[in-house]
Amino acid sequence: MIPAPFDYYAPTSLAEALTLLQQHGDDAKILAGGHSLLPAMKLRLASPSVLIDINRVAELRGIKVNGTVEIGAMTTWSAIEQHAALAKACPAMADAVSLIGDIQVRNRGTIGGSLAHADPAADIPAVVLAVDAQIHVEGPNGPRAIAAADFFTDMLSTALEPGEIITSITFNSHGPGESSAYAKFPHPASRYAIVGAAAYVKMENGQVTACRVAITGAGPKAERQPAVEQALIGTDGSADAVAAAAAHAGEGMEMLGDIHASEEYRRAMCKVYAKRALLKAIERAR
């Protein structure tokens, strides 16, 4: 399978990449890790006439961890996976990234590329929602930050405006009593999430005082689970309390159904994987 012809640019700075994107407008696509875009181009599902490869933009790579975690948009899954301080600052991120695709996919795929693509079965959308991340972008009107909660607008659709490029992702490192986890039911061949759940909890004096849960894979876009969160806050985080709260997972969500998993099955798995992620997060937070 061979993609349709295109013109190729490999800028070495963000400013250059933004200018190229501005020049070529809708005809252009940004090439990050290429592990969603190139397969789509090979299948001729996408035929951009211009490809702007940002792999040589060094300023978009890198991980900083102190009170805040900052991950450059072009940081590969492998770099995230191998970052010990990041795994400590946000275990859900480490859980999720280690389950993405396979080593070769993780060697090329990037966090910014995945977020911009917004595949409904990608893992990372659930994690950025659960840790309440900010997605930083730059475009013709300068830089801005988009809250993860506002970022995913529909299947394969985001709040990114034409001409904008994601530059980094930031969120708070977990503090005392805080932790997180990600659990997923992977498709056996592609490893995409049939259902994936990310959970963040804060435990104080044996009580859950804060909680965010998000589900990916089940519906057209990753979504927070307010009913689960509200049911868990104020409880002792026991297995019974978690099971009762997780029973609300998927409530009000549109479900996808396909040959791999029906809508009904995905709805059932939302509860199972929300429970698993919460139990793991609470165990880590204690």
Note the residues at the interface with another protein (CB under 8 A).
1-8, 10, 31, 34-35, 38-39, 41-42, 51, 53, 55, 78, 101-105, 107-108, 189-191
Smallest distance from another protein to CB 54, Å: 11
Query: Among 156, 95, 98, which residue's Cα sits nearest to residue 280?
Result: 95
> How many C-beta atoms lie closer than 10 Å to residue 190's C-beta?
13
3 burial via Cβ count (<10 Å: 0-12, 13-18, 19+): middle
Which of 47, 230 has the CB closer to another protein?
A: 47
Tell the smallest beta-carbon distance from residue 116 to another protein (Å). 17
Q: How far is the CB of 83 from another protein (least distance, A)?
A: 14
**With respect to another protein, which residue has the nearer C-beta, 54 or 285?**
54
Joined together, the tokens standing for residue 84 give: 């010990």
**Paired tokens of 35:** 């592990």
Nearer residue to another protein within complex by CB, 187 or 284: 187
Distance of closest approach, residue 263 Cβ to another protein, in angstroms: 25
Q: Which amino acid is at 119?
A: D
Nearer to another protein, 1 or 67 (CB): 1
Tokens of 286: 């204690």
> Going by C-beta distance under 8 Å and a sequence separation of 6 or more, which residues neighbour residue 219?
120, 253, 254, 255, 256, 266
- Which CB, 101 or 220, lies closer to another protein? 101
The least CB distance from residue 156 to another protein, in Å, is 18
Contact 156, 256 (CB under 8 A): no
What does the alpha-carbon distance between residue 164 and residue 139 come to, in Å, rounded to a whole number?
4
